[in-house]
Amino acid sequence: MSFLHRTILLSFISFLLLLGCSKYSDEIRENLAKLQKTKACSGCYLGGIELISFDLKNADLSGANLTGAILRRSDLTGANLKDANLSDADLLSVNLTGAKLTNTNLRAVKLSYSNMNGVDISGSVLKDARMNSSNVVNSKIRNSDMTGTNLYNADLTGTKVSDETLKDAVLCKTIMPSGQRDDSGCKR
């Protein structure tokens, strides 16, 4: 490839990269830079960001607004998401082992195929969340709204959760805290 062709190709790639970054506001770009540099962005606005397969281990995102964020396959092990807003977020296949999710808005969140072992989800809103095929082992879910939450094929082994909290959740092929399978919500 000639020098001219390489220059044109590199210019085109640079243009595409800059174009992709421009989809975020200055505030979001600043918050993303802060998060990437310090792994902390408490109270930040990060609505609609796309951080696929991103390393956010032990990140402090307490009180952050991540409405509609796409964090698929990201590692949030030990992350602090207390009081955060993750409504309508895409967290498919994320690792949330040991994360703090107390008082978190998880309304309509996509958490399918996620690992949520040892997580405290107390006081959170999980209304209409999709948690099918997720591992929620040895966790705590207390005083949370799980109305319409899809727990199809989820594993809740050892999780501290009341029958009252689960009364309006969809249970089908769900492994309950006792280790027993619950098929009460399966359509026949």
Return the closest-CA partner of residue 87 out of 28, 129, 58, 116.
129
In the chain, what are the domain boundaries?
40-188
The DSSP 8-state label assigned to residue 80 in this structure reads: B
CATH tag, 40-188:
2.160.20.80
Three-class secondary structure of residue 18 per DSSP: helix
pLDDT tens profile 151-162: 999 999 999 999
Question: What's the pTM value of the predicted model, to 2 decimals?
Answer: 0.85
pLDDT tens profile 101-136: 999 999 999 999 999 999 999 999 999 999 999 999
pLDDT on residue 187: 84
Task: Judge whether residue 18 has pLDDT over 80.
Answer: no
pLDDT tens profile 63-86: 999 999 999 999 999 999 999 999
- State how far the Cα of 167 lies from the Cα of 146, in Å rounded to an integer: 8
pLDDT on residue 8: 59
